[in-house]
C-alpha cells in the first residue's frame, strides 16, 4: 500500500501550457511588432477573453447564471474615473483599487441575489445592474446621465508619449485576459475547484462531505466581481469617456460574452478562448453586413447549442473529455502506467 502517486498534468497539457506561455510572450512583445490597430484589436480580444472566462467561471462552473455582470463592468469604470478625477491618482493604480471596491460592494449584492434561484437569480442580477446604472446616472459629480471624460492631463501623468500610453493599456489588457484564464485554471485546480465540481454534480452529497456550499459560491462571486470590475476600469480607461448607458450595457458586457462562452463551450476552460477568437473572426468578416451579421451570430449560437450543448470545444474534446487545461486527478500505482 501507499505505492501510488497522484498526477494532474498530461503530455498534452504540458504542451498546451508551454504553448500558452510562448503565446503570451509573443503577445507581450506586440508593441514592437504590431501597429496601433493591431494593439487595439488584440487588446479588445483580451478584454472579452477576460469577461468570457470570468462569466464562464460564474455560470459554467458555479451555476450562478448572472445576466448582470455589466453592473461590475460599469462600477469598475466609474471607480476608475472617481479615483483619477477626484484623487488624481495614476489610472493604472486605479484598476486594482476598482477591483477591491467591487469586491466589497459585491458582498451585500450577493446576500441579496443569492436568495433567488434559477431564472429568478438571473433576473435579480439584471435588476441589480439596472439599479447601479440608475444610481450612477444620479451622480452629478460624475456627469450624471451624460457622463464624463478623462482630461488629457491625467493621461499624460500615466505616460508622456501616446505610444507609451497605448502600450501600457495594451499590456494591462493582456495581463487581464491571460490573467483571467490563468486565474480560472488555478482556481479550478485548487480545493475550491474540487468543491465546485462536486457541487455541480450533487449538492446534497457535497454538503454531507463537509463542503460549505454558500461560502464557496460567495467566494467565487466576489472574486469574479472584483476581476470584472478591473476589466471594466480598463475598458473605460481605453475609451477615455464614460456614461451610464455604455457603462452598464447588458448587450456589450453580458449578451456578447454569453454568446462567446456558449459557442466555445460552457463549463470548460478552452470554451471561452475558442468563443472569443471565433467571435472576433466573424466580426472581422461579417461586420459590414450590418444587422444580417447579428442574425448570423444568433443562428450560429442556436445551431451550436443544438448540435453540441458543450459548444465547439465539446465537439473537439469528444466523449473522452480531452483537455488542454486538465483540473482532475489521476492515481498512478507503482509499476503500472495508465
Partner 1 sequence: MSILVLDQLSKRYGALLVTDGISLSVDRGEIVGILGPNGAGKTTLFNLIAGTVKPNSGTITFDGRDITREGAAVRCRAGISRSFQVPQPFTGMTVFENVLVGATFGRDRAGASDFAMRALELSGLTRKANQLAGSLPLLDRKRLELARALATDPSLLLLDEIAGGLTDSECHELLEVLREVNAAGVTMVWIEHVVHALLSVAQRLVVVDFGRKIADGVPDAVMASREVKSVYLGDDVHV
- Give the residues lining the site for partner 1 (CB under 8 A): 1-2, 4, 6, 191, 194-195, 197-198, 200-202, 204-213, 328-331, 333, 338
Residues 6+ away with beta carbon under 8 Å from 185? 269, 325, 327
Question: C-beta of 216: minimal distance to partner 1 in Å?
Answer: 9
Inter-residue contact 243 to 143 (CB < 8 Å): yes
Question: SS3 for 241?
Answer: strand
Question: C-beta of 35: minimal distance to partner 1 in Å?
Answer: 45
End-to-end CA distance of the chain: 18
Nearer to partner 1, 19 or 205 (CB): 205
Nearer to partner 1, 216 or 233 (CB): 216
DSSP annotation of 240:
S
Do you know the residue count of the chain? 338
Between CA 44 and CA 109 the distance in angstroms is 28
Nearer to partner 1, 192 or 237 (CB): 192
Question: C-beta of 60: minimal distance to partner 1 in Å?
Answer: 13
Question: C-beta of 273: minimal distance to partner 1 in Å?
Answer: 21
Nearer to partner 1, 56 or 180 (CB): 56
Nearer to partner 1, 206 or 254 (CB): 206
Question: C-beta of 58: minimal distance to partner 1 in Å?
Answer: 19
Residue 54, C-alpha cell as written in the block: 470570468
Nearer to partner 1, 120 or 329 (CB): 329
Nearer to partner 1, 59 or 150 (CB): 59
Segment (H or E) for 148: strand 148-149
Question: C-beta of 192: minimal distance to partner 1 in Å?
Answer: 10
Nearer to partner 1, 111 or 156 (CB): 111
Backbone region of residue 238 per phi and psi (left: phi > 0; alpha: psi in -120 to 50; beta: other values): alpha
Cα 183 to Cα 55, 137, 179, 189, distances in angstroms: 13, 33, 6, 10
Cβ-based neighbour number of residue 296 at 10 Å: 14
Cβ-based neighbour number of residue 239 at 10 Å: 14
Between CA 69 and CA 224 the distance in angstroms is 9
Segment (H or E) for 195: helix 191-201
Question: C-beta of 6: minimal distance to partner 1 in Å?
Answer: 5
Between CA 82 and CA 102 the distance in angstroms is 13
Question: C-beta of 63: minimal distance to partner 1 in Å?
Answer: 13
Between CA 142 and CA 150 the distance in angstroms is 11
Amino acid at each position: 500500500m501507499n505505492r501510488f502517486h497522484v498526477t494532474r498534468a498530461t503530455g498534452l497539457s504540458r504542451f498546451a501550457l508551454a504553448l500558452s506561455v510562448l503565446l503570451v510572450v509573443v503577445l507581450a512583445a506586440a508593441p514592437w511588432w504590431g501597429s496601433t490597430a493591431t494593439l487595439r484589436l488584440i487588446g479588445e480580444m483580451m478584454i472579452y477573453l477576460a469577461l468570457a472566462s470570468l462569466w464562464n467561471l460564474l455560470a459554467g462552473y458555479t451555476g450562478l447564471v448572472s445576466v448582470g455582470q455589466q453592473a461590475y463592468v460599469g462600477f469598475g469604470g466609474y471607480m476608475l474615473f472617481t479615483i483619477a478625477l477626484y484623487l488624481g491618482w495614476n489610472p493604472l493604480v486605479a484598476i486594482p483599487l476598482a477591483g477591491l471596491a467591487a469586491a466589497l460592494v459585491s458582498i451585500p449584492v450577493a446576500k441579496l441575489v443569492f436568495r433567488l434561484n434559477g431564472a429568478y437569480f438571473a433576473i435579480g442580477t439584471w435588476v441589480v445592474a439596472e439599479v447601479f446604472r440608475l444610481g450612477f446616472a444620479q451622480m452629478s459629480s460624475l456627469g450624471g446621465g451624460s457622463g464624463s471624460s478623462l482630461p488629457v492631463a491625467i493621461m499624460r501623468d500615466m505616460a508622456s508619449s501616446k505610444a507609451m500610453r497605448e502600450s501600457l493599456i495594451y499590456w494591462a489588457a493582456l495581463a487581464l485576459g491571460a490573467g483571467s484564464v490563468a486565474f480560472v485554471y488555478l482556481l479550478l485546480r485548487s480545493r475550491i475547484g474540487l468543491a465546485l465540481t462536486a457541487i455541480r454534480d450533487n449538492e446534497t452529497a457535497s454538503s454531507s462531505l463537509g463542503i460549505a456550499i454558500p461560502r464557496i459560491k460567495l467566494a467565487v462571486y466576489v472574486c469574479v466581481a472584483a476581476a470584472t470590475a478591473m476589466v471594466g476600469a480598463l475598458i473605460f480607461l481605453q475609451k477615455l469617456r464614460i456614461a451610464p448607458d455604455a457603462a452598464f450595457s447588458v448587450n456589450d458586457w453580458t449578451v456578447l460574452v454569453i454568446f462567446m462562452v456558449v459557442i466555445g463551450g460552457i463549463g470548460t476552460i478552452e470554451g471561452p478562448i475558442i468563443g472569443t477568437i471565433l467571435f472576433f473572426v466573424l466580426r472581422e468578416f461579417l461586420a459590414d453586413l450590418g444587422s444580417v451579421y447579428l442574425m448570423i451570430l444568433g443562428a450560429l449560437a442556436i445551431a451550436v447549442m443544438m448540435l453540441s450543448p458543450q459548444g465547439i470545444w465539446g465537439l473537439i474534446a469528444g466523449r473522452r473529455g480531452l483537455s488542454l487545461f486538465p483540473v482532475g486527478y489521476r492515481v498512478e500505482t507503482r509499476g503500472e502506467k495508465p
